[in-house]
Amino acid sequence: MHFSSTPPSGSLRRQRGFLNPNIAKFLGLSILGLGIAGALLVVYALIFINPRLPSLDVITDYRPKIPLRIYSEDKVLLGEFGEEKRSLVKLDDIPADVKNAVLAIEDYRFYQHGGIDYFGIARALVADVLRGTASQGASTITMQVARNVFLTKEKTITRKLYEVLLANKIESALTKDQILEVYMNQIYLGQRAFGFAAAARTYFGKDLKDVSLAEAAMLAGLPKAPSAYNPVVNPKRAHIRQQYILQRMLDVGFITQAQYDQASKEELKVRSPGTQYSVHAEYVNEMVRQMVYAQYKEATYTQGIVVTTTIDSAGQKAAYDAVRKGVMDYDRRHGYRGPEETIDLPSDADERAQAIDDVMDDHPDNDDIVAAVVVSVQAKEVQATLRNGETVSIRGEGLRFVAGALSEKAKKEVRIKAGSLVRLMQDAKNNWQIVQLPQVESALVSVTPQNGAIRALVGGFDFTQNNFNHVTQAWRQPGSTFKPFIYSAALEKGFAPASIVNDAPVSYPAGAGQPNWEPKDDETPAGPMTVRTALQKSVNLVAIRTLDNIGVPYAQDFITNSFGFDKDKVPPYLPMALGAGQTNPLQLTAAYSVFANGGYRINPYLITQITDARGNVLSKAAPLVADDNAPRVLPARNSYIMTNLLKSVAQRGTGARSNSIGRTDLAGKTGTTNEAIDGWFAGYQRTLATVVWMGYDQPKSLGGMEFGAQLALPIWVDYMGKALKGVPAYDMPAPDGVRIIDGEPYYDNFTPGNGLVTNLGVTVVDAISNFFGWTPSQTPGGNAAAPNAPGSAQPSGPAQKKGPTEGLYQGH
């Protein structure tokens, strides 16, 4: 083989890699210049920057901003308030997969280097000089901690010097594990989530300890660019980065091939914003926030205050589901109002997709009621595109509700056609159906009668749609749910369930120049009947006669003192017997609790205790407890007889639908105000007193055939059926002072022939007519009293605006 000894030519020298002397000289001078510049930077850093470095107290005594956190009694997280969502977690409690995913992508040699990757920094500086911009990073986890805790995110050489010097200072003050723990809790990960524990809750609705390997890799992809790799905002880019991190974990030996194969194929379920909590308790959360803020002001949102409520998470879920179902059932009974909006659909696919995206932005989903844009309409099938771009088909039963809106003869505002924005839900079999967002509102509150602990509270159909809390803020007429309090007062005046009162027309003077008040019922007056029958059937005339007999001033004092109603909201007139005053669901629940607990006045409360971020108790509830420190406001025999009466209503009267629960220890009363403006059911079992209301914020009729038994009672039944599952039946024992005669309870000092009020308003003609089944000659029809009834009250909406004169009731 021949080797030439002749020096290669210039072109050949360049081909073989020999450098041009001029280029070599330039590079040498550049390197020398960089070395000098680096030395000068070091001198500058030591002289000018190092003395100005901040104290490390912020991380050696790490106390980041932690939001107000609200829990149920059984330790389920209900909600958070604060600029930063954050949950502090110890390094030992962070799963290995999460730590390894972060190390693999952010700082593989974290436990080997001294906090600064000098080679990486040099590489970044060269790249920045050559490009003329500050574009390269090379930050270690320690340097990221320095930047996130102390510095801004601007890309300048000065800030980088601060970062390097701070990193060195941090490494000398903290162990590697301590540094990693701060990082895992401090780093911003999008959606207002700081730290991996908060991110796990935000994106997956899980505690950090429960995330899978695939989810860990998704979370590890967020620190670099939370907005770019956010699985909510950019699911495709987030998936690509997750796959890259899994590959990186495999390459460095953190996971096996089998683990990689499984994780890379796992389908992740990312929660949309606002659904990161497993229980809907938005109205509860807002009540707690207001109470805590009143005491702790701005510290509420930053000091890690933890509130434990009285809420039972399972009961809260049952209440939310029951209210949603009841409202949707009502809405279906009253017909389809039409699409929320109709747009033109471009023929170009990309333009069509954009148009659908644009209209969706103005119509957010409402929990399981999602927005969709109709893209085709046929006689037996409608196709609609969802927010995620998926197109679904609605057929058969799913179209029943809107059948009339699919016809070409339908009114323009009602007709569904291509481009219509509609609402969809899935039924029990996951088939899609067209529905609509309801306009009516409903509320439910449930309390433990013995101490007032609020176990469930739903202030409206949807908090994001209407944050007005109808449980505490909606002062409405209670209708016939108020009648039991009249009869309770009457027991102390000689009445009993067996007392006879005449259900016959009656007329009362209404004042000078005013026509007489002649209250009426839906049904034809039936003549003499017992108080028990009158309450079961919710007869108005009997309740009014009873109140007239015992006296309005006495009844007003008795009811407000015993049951906690506001005296200025209980009118001192006869229409009080029909619920002409005002109350709200929470106040009414407390009032019914007096019957349920044996006659004690309790105060509903929501917060059990408040602690700081370190677990120190800041305040603790001291509730009034029946048969302990709560004041007795009602004789035990009164609550016993009233419970006996209300059990009749629940089993054989207007509340008989409660029998579907399959219990014999339920008591309650329906209520429907005049023209069905408000529908109620108030009832209890010994362990739970629950009130449900339904109505419109701006008062209007719920419908001529709608009553409390159809509006509120089904919601009550759905909730109580779940809440009382497994709770033993309870039969209240008869207390001292009660005599049972022929199966009916009496006060022992008010018995037949011994002071008992009976045959109230009954004449000889009434008695004979009733005996032979004749109808009295005066049988006025109608279902309400005269509009100028004395003391008539007015219904109020959220702003407590007065509506038409009321006080006239259907009495159901």
pLDDT digits (tens, 9 = 90+) for 6-16: 444 444 344 44
Residue 82 inside a domain? The answer is no
Which of the listed residues 441, 476, 496 is the one where a domain comes to its end? 441
pLDDT digits (tens, 9 = 90+) for 93-115: 999 999 999 999 988 888 888 88
Q: Do 295 and 274 sit in the same domain of this protein?
A: no
Residue 453 inside a domain? The answer is no
Lowest mean pLDDT among 225-239, 575-589, 736-750, 759-773: 759-773
pLDDT digits (tens, 9 = 90+) for 658-698: 999 999 999 999 999 999 999 999 999 999 999 999 999 99
* Strand pairing report for 527-530 and 370-377: unpaired
**pLDDT confidence of residue 64:** 72
Residue 800 pLDDT exceeds 60 = no
Residue 734 inside a domain? The answer is yes
Q: Do 488 and 385 sit in the same domain of this protein?
A: no
Residue of 480, 648, 658, 796 marked active site: 480
Instruction: Tell me the CATH number at 298.
Output: 2.40.50.140
How far apart (Å, rounded) are the C-alpha atoms in residues 480 and 564?
17
To the nearest 10 degrees (0 to 180), the angle between helices 141-150 and 176-186 is 50
Q: pLDDT band at 270, cuts 50/70/90? A: confident
- From residue 776, give the alpha-carbon distance in Å to each of 248, 530, 759, 766, 773: 91, 18, 16, 7, 9
**pLDDT confidence of residue 229:** 87
The percentage of the chain sitting over the pLDDT mark of 70, rounded to a whole number, equals 81
The residue among 524, 479, 394, 530 whose CA lies nearest residue 694 is 479
Q: pLDDT band at 122, cuts 50/70/90? A: low
pLDDT digits (tens, 9 = 90+) for 271-281: 766 566 889 99
**pLDDT confidence of residue 803:** 32
How far apart (Å, rounded) are the C-alpha atoms in residues 129 and 126?
5
How far apart (Å, rounded) are the C-alpha atoms in residues 104 and 94?
15
Q: How many residues does the chain have?
A: 812
**pLDDT confidence of residue 357:** 87
**pLDDT confidence of residue 695:** 98
Lowest mean pLDDT among 116-120, 210-214, 460-464, 704-708: 116-120
Where is pLDDT greater, at 57 or 367?
A: 367
Residue 798 pLDDT exceeds 80 = no
Residue 810 inside a domain? The answer is no
Q: Do 544 and 688 sit in the same domain of this protein?
A: yes
**pLDDT confidence of residue 36:** 62
How far apart (Å, rounded) are the C-alpha atoms in residues 312 and 281?
11
Q: pLDDT band at 771, cuts 50/70/90? A: low
Q: Do 599 and 512 sit in the same domain of this protein?
A: yes
Residue 56 inside a domain? The answer is no
- Secondary structure string (H, E, C) spanning 55-71: CCHHHHCCCCCECEEEE
pLDDT digits (tens, 9 = 90+) for 308-364: 999 999 999 999 999 999 999 999 999 999 999 999 999 999 999 999 988 988 898
The residue among 608, 290, 314 whose CA lies nearest residue 456 is 314
Residue 283 inside a domain? The answer is no
Q: Which two tokens stand for residue 463?
A: 């908090």
**pLDDT confidence of residue 809:** 31
Residue 811 pLDDT exceeds 50 = no
**pLDDT confidence of residue 781:** 30
pLDDT digits (tens, 9 = 90+) for 25-49: 665 666 666 566 555 545 544 554 4
Which of the listed residues 278, 310, 340 is the one where a domain comes to its end? 278
Q: Do 407 and 372 sit in the same domain of this protein?
A: yes
**pLDDT confidence of residue 168:** 78
Tell me, yes or no, if 480 is annotated catalytic: yes
Q: Do 705 and 739 sit in the same domain of this protein?
A: yes
DSSP state letter for 46: I
Q: Do 200 and 308 sit in the same domain of this protein?
A: no
Q: CB count, 10 Å around CB of 27? A: 11
* Mean pLDDT calculated for residue range 593-621: 96
**pLDDT confidence of residue 724:** 98
Q: Do 625 and 733 sit in the same domain of this protein?
A: yes
Residue 440 pLDDT exceeds 60 = yes
Q: 516: phi > 0 → left, psi -120 to 50 → alpha, else beta; which?
A: beta
* Mean pLDDT calculated for residue range 39-61: 53
Ranked by mean pLDDT, which of 107-111, 135-139, 155-159, 574-578 comes out on top? 574-578
Residue of 72, 80, 87, 106 marked active site: 106
Q: pLDDT band at 376, cuts 50/70/90? A: very high
Counted domains in the chain:
3
**pLDDT confidence of residue 159:** 59
Q: Do 378 and 500 sit in the same domain of this protein?
A: no
Instruction: Tell me the CATH number at 125.
Output: 1.10.3810.10
Q: Do 520 and 653 sit in the same domain of this protein?
A: yes
The residue among 668, 684, 679 whose CA lies nearest residue 709 is 679
Residue 47 inside a domain? The answer is no
Residue 779 pLDDT exceeds 70 = no
Q: Do 436 and 341 sit in the same domain of this protein?
A: yes
**pLDDT confidence of residue 127:** 64
**pLDDT confidence of residue 763:** 78
Residue 642 pLDDT exceeds 50 = yes
Lowest mean pLDDT among 28-42, 371-385, 639-653, 666-680: 28-42
**pLDDT confidence of residue 123:** 64
Tell me, yes or no, if 106 is annotated catalytic: yes
Q: CB count, 10 Å around CB of 261? A: 12
Q: How far is CA 624 from the centre of its chain?
A: 27
Report helix, strand and coil shares of the chain as percent, to nearest 5. Answer: 40, 15, 45
Single-letter amino acid, residue 590? A
Instruction: Tell me the CATH number at 535.
Output: 3.40.710.10
Q: Do 431 and 502 sit in the same domain of this protein?
A: no
Burial class for 267, CB neighbours closer than 10 Å (0-12, 13-18, 19+): exposed
Collect all residues with Cβ–Cβ distance below 8 Å to 503 and sequence separation of at least 6.
521, 525, 526, 527, 528, 529, 534, 539, 541, 542
Domain extent, residue 735, equals 462-608+617-772
With beta carbons less than 8 A apart as the criterion, state whether 810 and 800 touch.
no
Which of the listed residues 278, 313, 342 is the one where a domain comes to its end? 278
Residue 42 inside a domain? The answer is no
- State the chain's mean pLDDT as an integer: 85
